[in-house]
Structure formats: structure tokens, C-alpha cells
Structure 1
Amino acid sequence: MYFGFVRPSSPDAPAFVHLAAHPLRWQLLSELAASDYRVRELVERVGQPQNLVSYHLRLLRDGGLVAARRSSFDGRDSYYHLDLARCARALADAGSALHPALGFAPAPPSLLTKASRRPAVLFACTGNSARSPIAEALLHHRAGGRVEVTSAGSHPKPRIHSVAVQLLREQHGIDISGQHPRHLDTLVGRRFDYVISLCDKVREVCPDFGGQPRLVHWSLPDPAAASGPGPVGYPAFVRTAAEIDTRIRYLLPLLMPTPQEVQP
């Protein structure tokens, strides 16, 4: 006699599954996993009407997977970005809900190995005094020198912001006190695998470096423009550095292969 398979009663699927299972929402998540974008750019990339894209972006925002920031280049516009840490937790929780052994965490940077050629990354912002030198220092630190990383600005300041220097020294043990801002034009002709803009303004004026680098945008507010208790804008610098560090941890596996991917 054939009894068939009877599925045991189970709770509803996790919210992440409901959100990510829709084809358009998955497409939007995939685009935002690579770079921050404005709505009109997402419309072009997914080939769907703006009202439909906006509707599904709102659902992703309500679910906490996507957030938006007002553009510092055009205050009437906003950049959407993926909350990578929350997505990782939600994905791990969804796996654990199906079976305890299916929960997972992203591979730590320690699993990265030396590639045949060091990938080259450029971080660009306007003044090259806060966001981009912080990103440069953190990527260099986390990659252990296995990534060729530099930073520059379209209108570099005379010096690195003192709070950026203080924060990196106190919280990460990194000393950039001897570093000076540089102009983007001084790097034209250099080969880069990734050009990552950290400022909405510099994204509009970043020069073409040739070689078809992967262009990525991280829309981050300028911590030097914030005010708060203690040293000028210190809490804003802490928030900015934390977000940059999170993005860098998820960038590292893209820059270098894991040991399983290395050819003998």
C-alpha cells in the first residue's frame, strides 16, 4: 500500500523567504548587493516600471533588508543600499529554521588566501580626508596587505581629518597620521580592479581610469559635516567607520578567492 509523504505541520516560512522569493525583489536585492543605486538607475537595470520598482523597494525597506539615504549631490534624490549584515543574519536564520545544521555565517577574512596578483582598489570621495582614507586603512588592515589599496579625492583637503586619525588609532590600532590627501587626477593611468566611490558628489565627476574596473558606489554621508558631543562629530565618524568596515568585510571574498578556489 502506498501511504505517500505527509508533510509535518510547520510554522510559516521566515519573512526573508517571503521577501526574497519574489523575482523582482530578488533582482533588486541582487543589484543592490553590488552597489548603491537611485530608483531611476534600478528601473533601468531591472527593466520594470518605476511605480512597480518603488513598490517593491518599499516592501524591502519595511522588511529591513534595504535602506535609503538622501543624496548629497541632489537632495531631491535618494540612494538605496542593501543592509548586508541584516541580510546575512536573515539568510542564516532562514536556513536554521529549515534545519539547525543549515545555519551559516559569511566566511571570515582569515579564510582568504594569496592570489596570483594583488587586486587593486581605489576609494574615491570629495576631500579624501575622512571616508576614503578610513576605507583605505580598513581594507589594507583586514586584507593583511594582500590588496593594493589607495584613496583620493576630487577636491582634496589640506590634511586628513584629525577625528579620522584618532578613531582609527583608538578603535583599530591603525596609524594614518603621516598620510596626506591626494587628487584623483594623480592616479589617472593606474590600473584598478575596483573603483569605489563613497560620496554622491564624486560619483558624478570621477575620471575614467581605463581598464574597465568594476565601478561600485557606497552612498555615505560625510561625517565631518556632522556635529555632536565630544570631538567634532566623533559619533558620526564612529557610525561611518562601522558601516565602511561592514561593507569591506563583505567585499573581501569578492577580491580574493578562498582556498578551495585556488588552482594548484
Structure 2
Amino acid sequence: MGPPGHPAPPFVRLAAHPLRWQLLTALAHSDLRVRELVSLLGQPQNLVSYHLRLLRDGGLVTATRSSFDGRDSYYHLDLDRCAHALAGTGTALHPALRWDSTPPASPVHQPRTVLFVCTGNSARSPIAEAQLRRYTAGHVQVTSAGSRPRPQLHRHAVRALHDHFGVDVAGRHPRHLDTLTGRRFDYVITLCDKAREVCPDFGNPAGRRHWSIPDPAALGTRDDYPAFLRIAADIDTRVRHLLPVLATEPQETKP
């Protein structure tokens, strides 16, 4: 704890600005492109880009090149970094305010339906499906599908889930989005920039989210198993952060 007049911690200085707080709030909901943030916040693009750069320099926001349009980028809020920064902010004010920055794995008591979507339904979306099913022990009806499903799951996705998370999906096969026509889901989460552009409506626009996650089969060589481990770890983190949302957000009234 610093003496009186000590500068505010970096997180406070970053998050205290009204526009940056709006950016953090928007990106906590979904990965978004600059033009989407401009439209959502009603601010000039140069101003939004400037404050995004500050958030990136502060380590709270990252950017990845869109796999749909390489001239564009998706921005992502690093919730783990935010949690650690908040923990440090409390301690900087007073040692009694130290708290565990690990996000709680909140139990999901209300029935929820979640659909994960990517292009091939061979790696990213089945990994997310398996992880959410593991964490919620059947309390969430979770499905995954692809806009252009591959014949089978990628062997490295199967291996990563089995070896590092104890989940066996060897008997599962990719499915096409068309097989879910007419179904309604509380949350539809696209994990692929290309799939986001073609994913149909499943009855609840408020439940749409996007996680801009690169195809691990396109990172390096197709046999790059470490790439699948990195993607599986990223998805696992995002799924853990989804749990409190599923546990606390009210369900939209079904028509």
C-alpha cells in the first residue's frame, strides 16, 4: 500500500475512463470488430481505435486477425488479466481488500441450452461442447455443429481432450448446422470468424456471442499438436468464464 497521493493502479487509470469502460463492458460480452464497437457505442472510429490501443498496451485487450477477412481484426477482453488487475487494485488500496482472483465456477441451476458453432465442427466447437458438459455435469444441454462439417473429429482435438482434461469424445462425429433447423438455444456461441458470418438465427439474438479463435489445424502444420493444446486451453478459460453468465443471467421468455 502506497502513501497518500500515490498514483492509482494501472487498471483504475484505464477502466475509469467512460469510453474505455464501455469498451471493456462490450468486449466482456463478445469478441468484436472495431466497426461493431463504433456502431454499438456511437463514437468516431479514430476515438474507439485510440482507446482500444490503450487497453491493448495495458494488457487487458488482445486482437487477432479475422480468418474471414484478413484486413479486419477481432478484439478480445482478457478476463483473467482483468481479474488479476482487480485483485491487485484492492491490495493497493488496503491489504484487507486482497481477494482470490480465480473466477468462480458457479453452479448452473436453471436449465440452459447452448450451441457452439465453427466451420468444420472437428476441433474448436466440439472442444467447447465437451468442456462445458464437463463443468456443468449435465445441467446444461450443450450441442455443437459446423457450417461445413468435416468427416470426423481431428485426432489432435480428441487427444488433447483425453490427455489433458480426461474427456473422451472418440465416438463423436461432426454434425451440420442444418440438422438443428427449428431448434431454439439460449446461447449460440460462434468460435470461428467464417462461421459467424453464416450462422443462422436460433431464436434468441440476445444470446449470440462470438469467440474469435483460430483454427488449430491452420496454425503451423496440420500435425502441430501443441497448437491444439493452446486452443484447448484458451477455450477452457472462456468456458470457465461463461459459467457465471449461465448461472446468473435471466433467461429470455420463450415465445
TM-score by length of 1: 0.90
Report percent identity of matched pairs: 66
Name the SS for the 2:156 alignment partner. Answer: helix
> Is it true that 1:94 corresponds to 2:92 in the alignment?
no
Residue matched to 1:252 = 243
Residue matched to 1:79 = 74
Q: Which amino acid aligns with 1:81?
A: H
Aligned length: 247
Residue matched to 2:143 = 150
Q: Deviations over 1:196-243 (max 9, x none)?
A: 000000000001112445110000000011235xx8111111111111
Name the SS for the 1:80 alignment partner. Answer: strand
In structure 1, runs of 5+ residues without a counterpart are 1-7, 259-264
Task: Report the alpha carbon displacement of residue 10 of structure 1 after superposing the two structures with TM.
Answer: 4.7
Equivalent residues in 2 for 1:161-176, closer than 5 Å? 161-176=154-169
> Is it true that 1:126 corresponds to 2:119 in the alignment?
yes
Q: Deviations over 1:45-97 (max 9, x none)?
A: 11100000000000000000001000000000000000111111001111111
Task: Report the alpha carbon displacement of residue 178 of structure 1 after superposing the two structures with TM.
Answer: 0.4
TM-score by length of 2: 0.93
Kept in 2, the 8 Å contact 1:112–1:257? The answer is no
Larger Rg: 1
Residue matched to 1:238 = 229
In structure 2, runs of 5+ residues without a counterpart are 250-255
Kept in 2, the 8 Å contact 1:185–1:207? The answer is no
Kept in 1, the 8 Å contact 2:103–2:241? The answer is no
**Which whole-Å CA distance do the structure 1 matches of 2:169 and 2:5 have between them?**
54
Q: Which amino acid aligns with 1:56?
A: H
Kept in 2, the 8 Å contact 1:25–1:57? The answer is yes
Residue matched to 1:11 = 6
Kept in 2, the 8 Å contact 1:61–1:67? The answer is yes
> Is it true that 1:108 corresponds to 2:104 in the alignment?
yes
Name the SS for the 2:85 alignment partner. Answer: helix
Which of 45, 53, 56 is 1:61 aligned to? 56
**Which whole-Å CA distance do the structure 2 matches of 1:107 and 1:72 have between them?**
29
**Which whole-Å CA distance do the structure 1 matches of 2:113 and 2:238 have between them?**
17
Kept in 2, the 8 Å contact 1:70–1:78? The answer is yes
Task: Report the alpha carbon displacement of residue 248 of structure 1 after superposing the two structures with TM.
Answer: 0.8
**Which whole-Å CA distance do the structure 1 matches of 2:84 and 2:42 have between them?**
29
The RMSD of aligned alpha carbons is 1.7
Residue matched to 1:199 = 192
